[in-house]
Structure 1
Amino acid sequence: MTDTATRTTPINTADEVNALGIGLLVLRVGFGGLMAAYGAQKLFGWFNGMGWQATTDGFEAMGYNPGVVFGTLAGLSELVGGLLLVFGLFTPLAAAIVVGTMINAINVLWSGGLFPSDPSVTGFSSPLVYAIAAAALAFTGPGRFSLDAGRPWARQGVVWGAAAVGVAVVAAVLTLILKAAL
């Protein structure tokens, strides 16, 4: 009889290894695909998006001046970070890009609260969930079904996850400082 609640042995069966790899693949492709689609909305107007000009105008209205720089940077960050996650390529960097972008989205939506009672107000729960998912991938790595798997540049674990989150926080804070200063 095996008690899985007290298991101390590492994952070692082929089924467990494949299940972990498939789970990370599903997470990466689903989450990364959504992030890339958000970027494509901002940059190209795809998927019922606003397009580049409306995005840059919107960023200008939110106080991110110049809106052309910040709006383009946000769209590119979502698109590139999302695509890197989809493919499982340079995963800690991809996660840092997404987390940093989501910290700025949380900042913009902060006044709405986590769960606003007014349905016309947007809260920050969605970008928080996206930041959490990206941070989790920074720590776990992309899994065996990825372009990073088995490559010399592949990185994962506590140090790389913490480094990715740290880089994201620093980049987000610098962006917010620039927003306030410009």
Structure 2
Amino acid sequence: MADLGLFIIRLAVGLTFVGHGAQKLFGWFGGPGPVKFGQWLESIGIKTGGITWAILAGLFELIGGLLFSAGLLTWLGAILIIIVMIDAIFTVHLKNGFWLTEGGYEYNFILIAVVLGVALIGPGDYVLFYKP
């Protein structure tokens, strides 16, 4: 049952990040796309290269989410997700405190804990490719 639990966690978290990456990169699922997201990044204080940072964030989320959900190089997927979450904490949420209800970093913190925990445990037996 632990392997099934890890599989459910990996799919839920990983595919959610795939969706967030697609929002930033392609404007899918009601997302802003790289230009609008880049402009938003510049509006919150990232003065140089907003579009470049938007594309990088989208790629980290998309690739990290794909790897994490597939159980393929789960540790690398987790690192990519954690980098984006740490960035979100420091650029957007930290100033608002911990609690999500105040715009804080609570949700980002929980996501970091989940992906780090799965990376340390391992992906389980339900992975995209055979695991020896």
TM-score, normalised relative to structure 2? 0.90
Of residues 54, 76, 81, the one that matches 2:59 is 76
Q: Is the 8 A contact 1:39 1:78 kept in 2?
A: yes
Matched, 1:94 2:77: yes
Shift of 1:124: 1.1
Residues of 1 paired with 2:117 and 2:130: CA distance? 17
User: Would the alpha carbon gap of residues 110 and 149 (structure 1) be closer, same or farther in structure 2, given more than 3 Å must change?
Assistant: farther
Moved over 6 A (4+): none
Residues 19-41 of structure 1, C-alpha deviations (whole Å, 9 max, x = no match): 11110100000010111111111
- Aligned counterparts, 1:1-182, within 5 A: 19-64=1-46, 65-108=48-91, 109-115=93-99, 121-147=102-128, 149-151=130-132
Shift of 1:47: 1.5
Alignment-mate amino acid for residue 128 of structure 1: F
Query: Whose Rg is larger?
Result: 1
5+ residue gaps, structure 1, are: 1-18, 152-182
Unaligned 5+ segments in structure 2 are none
**What letter corresponds to residue 39 of structure 2 in structure 1?**
D
CA shift, 1:63, in A, is 2.7
CA contact (8 A) 1:81 1:98 kept: yes
Secondary structure in 2 matching 1:28: helix
| SS in structure 2 of the partner of residue 110 of structure 1 | helix
Aligned residue-pair number? 130
SS in 2 for 1:144: coil
Identity %: 34
Q: Is the 8 A contact 1:24 1:142 kept in 2?
A: yes
Letter matched to residue 64 of structure 2: G
Q: Deviation of residue 128 (structure 1)?
A: 1.2
Per the TM alignment, residue 62 of structure 1 is displaced from its structure 2 partner at its CA by 2.5
